[in-house]
Amino acid sequence: MTCANCALRIEKGLNKLNGVEDARVNFAMETAYVKFNTELQTKDLIEKVKSLGYNASEHLSSSTPKVIEEHVKEKNRLRFRFISSAILAFPLFYTMASHFSILSFLPVPEYLMHPWVQFLFAAPVQFWIGFPFYKGAFRALKNGSANMDVLVALGTSAAFGYSFVYSLTLGLSLEDPWFLNQSQSHQGHGMYPSLYYETSAVLLAFLLAGKWMEAIARGKSSQAIQALLGLRPDTVRIKKDSEWIEVPLEFLKEGDLIQIRPGERIPTDGIVLDGSSSVDESMLTGESLPVQKVSSSKLFGGTMNGKGGLIERADKVGQDTVLSSIIKTVEEAQASRAPLQRIADKISAIFVPSVVVIAVLDFLIWSFFIDFGNLSGALEKSIAVLVIACPCALGLATPVSLLVGTGKGATMGILFRNAESLETVSSLEVLAFDKTGTLTEGKPRLTAISVQGDEENNFLRKVASVESSSEHPLGAAIVAEALAKSLVIGTPTKVVSEPGGGIRANLEEDSIVIGKKEFLEAQGVSIPKNLADIVNQWELSAKTVVWAAIEGGKKALGILALEDSLKSSSIRAVQKLRELGLELVLLTGDHLKTAEAVAAETGIQKIEASLNPNGKAAIIQAMQIGGKKVGMAGDGMNDAPALAVAQVGFAMGNGTDIAMESAGVVLVKGDLLRIWDSIRLSRATVRNIRQNLFWALAYNAIGIPIAALGYLAPWLAGAAMALSSVSVVTNALRLRNFR
């Protein structure tokens, strides 16, 4: 694709196919992201792209290195085309430069001024080196649209064609008397007043220089993905029978035993079976401190082993690893379109036809009204209009910034699932937090039990048996304490769970209800005052209280206190987020007093407590109805409705899969400071996009009138157009320095 119009044409073509739900084409990445139903196959999409005059292939993670290799080849082809055009265009540029007053002292051989000598230099540039421009223009016009290639082909062909026709009238020999007379007079535009061979040749050389520099810069913008791909080792040492053998990484299977030596990359996700070492996980989490790994510790592919040796069991391979999912998420985000891109899309759709109309009108006005009869002068001005208006910079303004921004986020452990999420994060006004697993470690521990009607350990055994069927972290903590006391966990029956409320089940001859006080009261359980007083004391010290009632052989009623410590980064993260001007809200299923204790410790001022999952979502919707843009940070299944309804959901990477699927941003490490980073990065990226769009539009708004008024030579217009694209990409690359 040569400009944003190419991307729009392919996108429209794909969206017209029956069965395509959504198609988004990214000009900067040269990718298409397509959602389609079972009526279609990938080959149908590829055939549609080919029918529009382009080539395509399915993008797989295994093919990414080949794609990068092809980009390198394209960059080398552009370099060759530019150097070839520069060599051929230089003599013509030299003759043109010699006629500027400040360079009039330069000696110019007379033969360089002959039309057919200039033709011999210009023709290869126009028709051999410049052939891809003609090919792109033909392809666009064939499909009923216009792109940058159309403008370039029109402008350079007009200059070259006019000069060629005029050359036919001037004679074919260096000894032609007319030529000799002109050589002696040195009047007008060179020795031939109306030839523009140098305009077309030099113009194409400048355009190719810009495209080459643009390709170099775009290569740098995708370095984050390339760096992630480079984290995979090519080979891995696995145990085969009784010896260790080295095989290519793609032959690794689940369950294989892997030997990891000091200083080597971890090849895949798995569990440490033997050995101990510190592992640098910074490329996945953004955290610089190494993590100590011992037996049963989790390992992640792409991380760097320290000074110890490890034996790993491969649990996930290929596309199932964390690294592969990160790469896929980043690629999908980069293939998506930000809402700001719609501005550029609307302009690009009508831009090229409008410029052609302006160029024609400019030619007619100069020819018939301003400088009557001076066709060559009018032609020069209309060519300048065609060339300076090429919409490359406009097409690159948004996608390249997104490419760099999402890539930078990935290296910091921040995964934006799409461009819309990245843009929306920048404008958030309210940020809501879940408590457990978001502000806290999500690893609660049982600290106290008070029970009436039963012995404490027997009460704990029965409660833990019922909680063994639950995935809630509080239930897991109760089970862990029972196992630590060597209590026998039974198997409950007729388990009924109410998210955000509690759980009911039968165990042996007992009927057991566990959960919040309100949940038990709804089941007809009466709450004695002495237990309520104990609960008040526990909640004031930020403990979470679980109630349990046992009806059956031995009636019992008790309470369990669980404590979940704050994450080390939570207090600082809340402070940093408040400095960004956000209103912070704590949404929790815990009781108000527990929530108030946590809020007081962290500095969160607004609290909504005793909420079930739908209650959290309802609070967020109410704030949105009030006109506020709301983000939600959570980690558990009970946070999924709130994450989905918020403008942007932030999911802790250590949370549940459903929470991560519901969120627009995934924080790989689950560190709240990454939310602060993601908001700052989002604002920096959106600011960068707006700068790019402003300058791309301002460039054309200023450049077209200047060219139309005759103050800009075509070759200067070409240079300015090339530099505008490079400047947009260079500005986007500044995001790589984000800290």
Residues serving a catalytic function are 434
Give the 3-state secondary structure of residue 629. coil
CA distance 588 to 436: 8
Angle between helix 341-365 and 148-168 (nearest 10): 20
Alpha helices in 507-639 (DSSP H): 517-522, 529-540, 570-579, 592-602, 613-625
Contact 348, 392 (CB under 8 A): no
CA distance 273 to 466: 32
Residue in 357, 379, 381 with CA at minimum distance from that of residue 162: 379
Give phi and psi for 94, each to the nearest 5.
-65, -45
Both structure tokens of 561: 């206190």
Q: Which amino acid is at 84?
A: S
Cβ neighbours around 329 below 10 Å, total = 19
Phi-psi region of 106 (alpha: psi -120 to 50; beta: other; left: phi over 0): beta
Cβ neighbours around 93 below 10 Å, total = 17
Distance, CA of 509 to chain centre: 56
Percentages (nearest 5) of helix, strand, coil residues in the chain: 55, 15, 30
Residue in 300, 295, 248 with CA at minimum distance from that of residue 270: 300
Contact 648, 421 (CB under 8 A): yes
Give phi and psi for 433, each to the nearest 5.
-120, 140
CA distance 235 to 253: 13
CA distance 590 to 604: 15
Give me the sign of the Cα torsion angle 586, 589, 592, 594.
negative
Alpha helices in 308-440 (DSSP H): 322-335, 341-365, 375-388, 392-411, 419-425
CA distance 176 to 192: 13
